[in-house]
């Protein structure tokens, strides 16, 4: 068994172990690694944002190309800082209103199309499902299952009437679909978190301690 | 019954230890459990297969950060290898500030494997702030969002970008992301500009994107480490690369940990019902 001679690999491996040590209990090595990570992340992002936003969208165009009009949105953006002056904090609402207005105007129609209309179409049973009714992805059986699941789940969240009779049955079926959905999400969450552990251990066993080729 | 009561009081560190062993042992022993690519991974792979070599480019947005690397970096690398092996031109960009370094590093490593030339076979546009605005700007004219590439070279001076104006000239857009930015690609590139969108996501967020597959708003989806492993497998199966699989190596451990967690859930539930029964007055 050989080990890396690269000091950066050693540093990364030791910091990973410091972070893992929290699983046993909180300790100064974990705190050190945690604070180092936070400081580095913030420092890195400040530089990235300065270069990609302040310099690219404001300093260079204004100072080099004399596009003075850009000072107007810059001034509007500065109004956010008035939140620290209680008497003038209402000025902060101006950039918020502009941002919300523009964003809603752009996003609302498209979101309705992509997230509601197209999803409703996807839920509906169509003639193509009859071609191969038992196909587990596109068949009629799964189409009916999806349609029933959507309707029953929506009825579970329908609170304008007491859940009695047919509504109660439908809501009960709906909660089963919701629970199965939560179960699937939990399974994926396990896979995601385990993948992160695998990634770190692969690094340690591949690049630090050469156990995996 | 005492067994289940004791089990419910077990120190959680024993569980951590078991999970660690369930990961380490398969990683070191290479069990080689059977591999079968999922339908949606295959769909995305086939979508790239259908693109003509040396014609219109694929756009990949590498919107992930180091904390998502184990799942998304192998995915990105596998897709880049697939495109470059087939001589499918590639535009790489990122909407995550920390994604630029990761994507650039991967391109630098992979391009020489296929003799790919910068500007002719692939370009790297770098990071731009404002996800939705950038996505929509590309829909009008990619030069609005990216007048230059990541190195300051004007887009118009790059040969492969000469005929690329907007999504109409890009047959496939793939977003590899660990955040909700995939939604923005579906909404703004897909719904507004009718771009064909595929995605690769972390497993934890994948349940949010399956409805887009079922409705035909996405052409395919790579789901976490499993999706990355599928793509690596397909690349090797079709002879596009002989580089050892990174995500593929981790899949044995994923399977074993899933079995372990299922065991914990079953035991936990039995313990819960036993404790509930014991608590009832006799």
pLDDT digits (tens, 9 = 90+) for A60-79: 999 999 999 999 999 999 99
Task: State the Cα–Cα distance between residues A9 and A47, nearest whole angstrom.
Answer: 24
Task: State the Cα–Cα distance between residues B71 and B203, nearest whole angstrom.
Answer: 8
- Mean pLDDT (whole number) for B119-124: 96
CA distance B54 to chain A (A): 32
Task: State the Cα–Cα distance between residues B248 and B217, nearest whole angstrom.
Answer: 28
- Provide, as residue numbers in chain A, all residues whose Cβ is less than 8 Å from the Cβ of B261: 190
Q: Which residues pair with B16 in a beta bridge?
A: none
- Provide, as residue numbers in chain A, all residues whose Cβ is less than 8 Å from the Cβ of B254: 191, 194-195, 198
| CB-nearest partner of B203 from A44, A106, A191 | A191
Q: Are strands B221-223 and B197-201 parallel, antiparallel or unpaired?
A: parallel
> Taking CB atoms and an 8 Å limit, are B13 and A23 in contact across chains?
yes
- Please write the tens of the pLDDT for every residue from B34-44: 889 999 999 99
Higher per-residue confidence, B273 vs A176: A176
pLDDT given at position A125: 81
pLDDT given at position A127: 83
Whether residue B30 is predicted with pLDDT greater than 80 in this model: the reply is no
pLDDT given at position B91: 97
> Taking CB atoms and an 8 Å limit, are A198 and B250 in contact across chains?
yes
- Cα B201 from chain centroid (whole Å): 5
- Please write the tens of the pLDDT for every residue from A6-56: 999 999 999 999 999 999 999 999 999 999 999 999 999 899 889 888 998
> Taking CB atoms and an 8 Å limit, are A184 and B207 in contact across chains?
yes
Residue extents of the structural domains in chain A: 1-66, 70-123, 129-213
Task: State the Cα–Cα distance between residues A61 and A74, nearest whole angstrom.
Answer: 12
Q: Where are the alpha helices (DSSP H) in chain A?
A: 7-20, 28-49, 71-78, 93-111, 118-123, 140-156, 166-203
Partner B, chain A 178-197, Cβ-Cβ below 8 Å = 181, 184-185, 187-197
Q: Where are the alpha helices (DSSP H) in chain B?
A: 2-8, 12-29, 39-49, 69-85, 99-110, 131-140, 142-145, 181-184, 203-206, 210-214, 224-237, 247-279
Geometric angle at alpha carbon A131, from A127 and A134, rounded to 5°? 110
In this structure, what token pair is assigned to residue B127? 């990071």
- Mean pLDDT (whole number) for B127-137: 92
- Provide, as residue numbers in chain A, all residues whose Cβ is less than 8 Å from the Cβ of B215: 118-119, 121-122
pLDDT given at position A129: 85
Do B166 and B54 meet the contact criterion of CB atoms below 8 Å apart?
no
In this structure, what token pair is assigned to residue B120? 């002719």
| CB-nearest partner of B28 from A23, A197, A211 | A211
Task: Give the mutation candidate from B207, B212, B216, B258 for the A interface (greatest A CB count, under 10 A).
Answer: B207
State chain B's mean pLDDT as an integer. Answer: 93
| CB-nearest partner of B129 from A52, A113, A194 | A52
| CB-nearest partner of A198 from B23, B39, B187 | B23
Do B132 and B184 meet the contact criterion of CB atoms below 8 Å apart?
yes
Predicted model pTM = 0.90
Assess A58–B contact: CB distance below 8 Å, yes or no: no
Task: State the Cα–Cα distance between residues A147 and A122, nearest whole angstrom.
Answer: 9
Assess B87–A contact: CB distance below 8 Å, yes or no: no
Would you place residue B282 in the very low, low, confident or very high pLDDT band (cuts 50, 70, 90)? low
């Amino acid at each position: 068994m050989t080990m890396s001679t690269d000091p950066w690999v050693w540093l990364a491996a030791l910091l990973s172990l410091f972070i893992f040590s929290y699983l046993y209990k909180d300790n100064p090595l974990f705190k050190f690694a945690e604070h180092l990570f936070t400081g580095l992340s913030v420092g890195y992002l400040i530089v990235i944002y300065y270069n990609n936003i302040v310099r690219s969208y404001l300093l260079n165009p204004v100072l080099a190309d004399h596009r003075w009009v850009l000072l107007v949105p810059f001034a509007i953006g500065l109004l956010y800082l008035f939140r620290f002056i209680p008497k003038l904090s209402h000025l902060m609402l101006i950039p918020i209103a502009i941002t919300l207005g523009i964003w809603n105007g752009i996003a609302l129609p498209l979101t309705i199309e992509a997230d509601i209309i197209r999803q409703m179409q996807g839920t509906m049973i169509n003639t193509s499902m009859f071609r191969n009714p038992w196909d587990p992805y596109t068949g009629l059986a799964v189409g009916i299952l999806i349609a029933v699941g959507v309707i029953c789940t929506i009825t579970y969240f329908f609170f304008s009437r007491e859940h009695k009779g047919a509504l109660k049955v439908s809501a009960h079926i709906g909660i089963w679909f919701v629970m199965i959905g939560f179960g699937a999400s939990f399974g994926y969450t396990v896979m995601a978190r385990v993948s992160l552990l695998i990634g770190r251990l692969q690094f340690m066993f591949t690049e630090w301690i050469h156990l995996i080729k | 019954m005492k067994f289940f009561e004791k089990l419910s009081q077990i120190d959680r560190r024993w569980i951590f230890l078991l999970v660690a062993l369930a990961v380490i042992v398969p990683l070191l022993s290479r069990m080689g459990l059977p591999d079968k690519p999922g339908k949606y991974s295959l769909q995305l792979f086939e979508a790239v297969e259908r693109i003509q070599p040396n014609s219109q480019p694929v756009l990949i947005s590498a919107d992930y950060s180091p904390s998502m690397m184990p799942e998304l970096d192998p995915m990105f690398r596998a897709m880049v290898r697939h495109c470059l092996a087939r001589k499918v031109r590639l535009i790489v960009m990122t909407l995550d500030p920390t994604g630029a370094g990761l994507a650039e590093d991967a391109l630098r490593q992979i391009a020489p494997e296929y003799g790919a030339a910068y500007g002719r076979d692939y370009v790297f546009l770098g990071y731009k702030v404002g996800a939705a605005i950038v996505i929509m700007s590309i829909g009008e004219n990619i030069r609005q969002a990216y007048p230059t590439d990541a190195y300051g070279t004007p887009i118009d001076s790059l040969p492969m970008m000469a005929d690329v104006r907007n999504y109409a000239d890009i047959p496939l857009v793939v977003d590899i992301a660990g955040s909700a930015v995939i939604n923005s690609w579906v909404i703004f590139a897909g719904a507004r500009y009718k771009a064909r969108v595929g995605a690769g996501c972390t497993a934890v967020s994948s349940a949010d994107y399956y409805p887009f597959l079922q409705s035909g708003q996405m052409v395919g989806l790579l789901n976490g480490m499993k999706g990355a492993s599928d793509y690596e497998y397909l690349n090797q199966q079709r002879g596009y690369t002989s580089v050892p699989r990174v995500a593929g190596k981790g899949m044995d451990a994923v399977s074993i940990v899933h079995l372990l967690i299922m065991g914990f859930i079953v035991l936990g539930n039995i313990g819960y019902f036993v404790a509930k029964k014991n608590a009832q007055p006799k």
